[in-house]
Structure 1
Amino acid sequence: MTMLKPILAIVLASLLASCAESPTGRRQMLLFSDGEMSQMGGTAFDEMKKKMTINTNSATNRYVSCIADAITVSLPAEWRGSWEVVVFEEASANAFALPGKKIGVHTGIFQVAKNADQLATVIGHEVGHVLAHHSAERMSVQSVAGTGTQLVGVLLGEGAGKETVMGLLGLGTQFGVVLPYGRAQESEADIVGLDLMAKAGFNPAASVDLWKNMSALSDGQPPEFMSTHPSHSSRIKDLQRQMVTATPLYEKAKANGIRPACKR
């Protein structure tokens, strides 16, 4: 018992030191550094490029990169710079962003993101997950639970646990371990992403149309209390409330001549 007390004190001290605050003021526990997360994100992205078929259509790639570049160029200083953007031939209506400045877009997203403003909603949302350190937050919770002690090194080899790490990074669909972001993280990414797209000169009102399209595509979505994600109707209401902040950002961007001309 006498030896246990110092150990508990050290653990408690490390947890207190790891407390952080998300962009919306939510308390987070972050036990992994930006460098560690970037290393894992980069390695995971390389895995995706090996596992999935990369789209080589020049017009499609220019279109997606135009939108992604417009969003990332206006990020806070520590997140600016060149983000690697890859379009994957994949029927699911999905996209993802990873620590290490990586963005992946599935061709299936064009089923619901009918124009540049709607696709900017998707990419802004995914980049929002990165800026809010959601992957690091999930890794930290997993680590404290005692099931992720070697998470940083897992992706560098072929050891057990790689699928879990990919799932925590938000890539579980392709690796058989689906660990979706929770409601709080999804809602937070919606808010952060909406402001990001508005600052980049994309119309935030398009976010509502996107989720109406998504709702139509996913007919029969389970009730909100049965899902880790907010229901489409709740999501739309939250986005409409956020327009009070996002619309002035959009108007300011237009007034400053920020009008991305991204065409497919």
Structure 2
Amino acid sequence: MLRQFFARGFACAALLAGLAACSTIETTQPGVVGVDRRQTVSPLVDRSKLTQQASLQYRQVIGEAQKKGQLNVDKSQTERVRRISARLIPAVASFRPEAVSWKWETNVITSKEVNAWCMPGGKIAVYSGLIEQLKATDDELAAVMGHEIAHALREHAWERASQAANAQVGLTIAAIALGMSGTQQDLTGMAYNAMFALPNSREHETEADRIGVELAARAGYNPHAAVSLWEKMGKLDGKAPPQWLSTHPSQQTRVRDLTVYAEKVMPLYEKAKRR
């Protein structure tokens, strides 16, 4: 029993040391919207390897779309999306100057899926379903793309990976210290997910919303289009899960926040229109 106690203590100490080595960073400047939360990342997650993995995944997705004849099929859609991204990209300098020189790419994938994303390093994909099903205007597309670009600028993927790695370490510590069964560990993991992981994801979504409206405004797109976009999304999604069980803010919370921050960056939009 004593030997088992010391073995558990040693394992816990080693794992705790890994958690203690976490560092705080600031990936972006606050901008006019004031996104200045200090971010926590873990030494358990190699940033460069994460970026390499994202690049590999991007190539796989794009390659698969090309094989299926789904890549940049509609020339007018592709030109439209690339024109919008070309205006958004220079605006990232207000949050992260070096990001302007990332190797940006923008593609349109033919799919009924209402989706868009921007991987670390500036690899953007917009799905045709988003354009067609929402009947998205240029301003609304700028809101979507600005939001996704914001995730890449803030390196939310790195943060989420760090949170997941630390959570796993924390749960392992608890399991070792308490001698928990597999079922008990599963329940503990579910509790962690509900209390910590999902709220953190909502925080990332809110940051991306706020940075996204500023990027759109600086690029000369009406930031209030973010509100009309998410109102359309709400009608499309149907019944959404309760906010506390969602990785996204509730529709009402999101629209209310976007309305406030879109108004905050209107002077940037007015200035961009005069150029």
Task: Give the alignment's TM-score, normalised by structure 1.
Answer: 0.76
Residue among 185, 207, 210 paired with 1:188: 207
C-alpha deviation, 1:143, in angstroms: 2.0
2:218 to 196, 199, 202: 199
Deviations 1:93-113 (A, max 9, x none): 110000021001100111225
Aligned equivalents of 1:36, 1:131: Cα separation in 2: 17
Q: What is the aligned partner in structure 1 of residue 180 from structure 2?
A: none
Hey, what does 2:164 align to over in structure 1?
142
Q: Over residues 77-133 of structure 1, what are the superposed CA-to-partner deviations in whole Å (9 max), with x where a residue is unaligned?
A: 211134111111111111000002100110011122521000000000000111111
Q: Which residue number corresponds to residue 169 of structure 1?
A: none
Structure 1 233/8 Cα, relative in aligned 2: closer, same or farther at 3 Å? Answer: closer
Map residues 125-164 of structure 1 onto 2, 5 A cutoff. 125-146=147-168
- Code of the residue aligned with 1:47 in structure 2: it is Q
CA distance in 2, matches of 1:48, 1:183: 26
How big is the shift at 1:40?
Answer: 2.0
Other-structure match for 2:138? 116
Structure 2 partner of 1:174: none
Q: CA deviation at 1:180?
A: 11
Match of 2:71 in 1: 54
CA distance in 2, matches of 1:200, 1:33: 33
Change (3 A) 1:35 1:69: farther
Higher helix content, 1 or 2: 2
**Which residue type is aligned with residue 20 of structure 1?**
I
How many angstroms does 1:13 deviate by?
Answer: 5.0
Q: Is the 8 A contact 1:69 1:83 kept in 2?
A: no
1:8–1:209 Cα change, 3 Å:
closer
Partner of 1:44: 57
How many residues are treated as equivalent by the alignment? 223
Q: Is the 8 A contact 2:19 2:166 kept in 1?
A: no
Partner residue of 1:26 out of 18, 21, 37: 37
CA contact (8 A) 1:40 1:99 kept: no
**Cα distance, 1:36 vs structure 2:** 3.3
- What are the superposed Cα offsets for residues 62-89 of structure 1, whole Å, 9 maximum, x if unpaired? 1010111110122122111341111111
Q: Secondary structure at the match of 1:71?
A: helix
Judge conservation of contact 1:197–1:204 (CA < 8 Å) in 2.
yes
Output the amino acid matched with 1:25.
Answer: D
Kindly report the root-mean-square deviation, in angstroms, between the aligned alpha carbons of the 2 structures. Answer: 2.6
**CA shift in 2, pair 1:134/1:87, >3 Å:** same
- The answer to whether the 8 Å contact 1:129/1:185 transfers is yes
State the structure with more CA Rg.
2
Q: Cα distance 1:83–1:113, how it changes in 2: closer, same or farther (>3 A)?
A: farther
Give unmatched runs, 5+ long, in structure 2: 1-5, 170-197
1:78 aligned residue (57, 74, 98): 98
8 Å Cα contact 1:125-1:193 kept in structure 2: yes
**Which residue of structure 2 lines up, in the alignment, with residue 11 of structure 1?**
18
Residue in structure 2 matching 1:226, options 205, 227, 245: 245
Shift of 1:33: 5.8
**For the residues of structure 1 that align with 2:146 and 2:135, how far apart are their CA atoms?**
13
Q: Distance in 2 between matches of 1:180 and 1:13?
A: 22
